[in-house]
Amino acid sequence: MDQEKLYGDLGQAIAGQKMGLHDETETIMAGERIYPGDPIFQKVGDENVGYGANISAISMTASAALVDGNEVAVTVNGIALPSVPFESNSLRTFQNIQDTVNLNEALRALGITAFLLEGEALKFYLTGPGITITASAVVTGGASQATFASAAHSQAKFRGVARHMDISYKEGAGFYPAGTAVNLLTHGQITVRVADNANPDNLVPAYVIMSGEDAGKFTHVSTGGNYDCGCTFRSNRIEGNLVVLEVNGLK
């Protein structure tokens, strides 16, 4: 089958193609749907899972440890989740909150997921694909009730670019579904998509657009909240809004 027909457009069909012979590739797990050519970010403390360009991530921090008899009612983007009862300790209860978020069909449709970081027993995180996330958590019952505070979370670091593979899963073709293995180029040259209004020159620094319709694409523009990924453009813009990018590792 013609690649352009399979993937929907020329840029998507070619993005993620490795260029040249010298490169370093690793395998990580997709924390959400990832397309070849996407910039991949990893959260500090969770280096085995990769995510796309998300500016919207928040932490939810409890003011104190949860206690026996507590129930935690979490609301995310206006969606009220079933209350989660205290189980064994705070960490175990937070794991149950994470599962409650990740199994909710409405939140899954929005692409919002929850995760925990090792060593942070009183905190859980919410992230989504470039959308604004709002959340609250209210504790009732028990001898004491901790309160939760939300804050922007920005611990994700650029790690590399998802490589192109002729991939097909039950969820569809042309992307890596959440939970599947992703081939990640950490050093070397690769084709990526640039924003419609980006006109980079060869050998100029590259930045990742973190929000809006072009989130996940690359640009030569350093302002507007774009992320300095430490990469360099190695060509001018070519057909399909594509460009060759040199990836230099963690940034």
pLDDT at 6: 45
The 10s digit of each residue's pLDDT in 131-144 is 678 899 999 999 99
Q: What percent of the chain has pLDDT over 90?
A: 42
User: In the chain, what are the domains?
Assistant: 3-44+157-248 (2.40.300), 57-152 (2.60.40)
The 10s digit of each residue's pLDDT in 48-85 is 888 888 656 788 999 999 999 999 999 999 999 999 99
Residue 180 is classified by DSSP as S
Greatest mean pLDDT among 93-107, 210-224, 225-239 lies in 93-107
Q: How far is CA 175 from CA 12, 168, 223, in A?
A: 10, 7, 29
pLDDT at 9: 60
Sign of the CA dihedral running 193, 196, 197, 202: positive
The 10s digit of each residue's pLDDT in 112-132 is 889 888 788 899 999 876 567
For the cut 80, the answer to whether the pLDDT of residue 22 exceeds it is no
Taking only Cα atoms into account, the Rg of the chain, rounded to an integer number of angstroms, comes to 20
For the cut 50, the answer to whether the pLDDT of residue 164 exceeds it is yes
pTM of model > 0.95: no
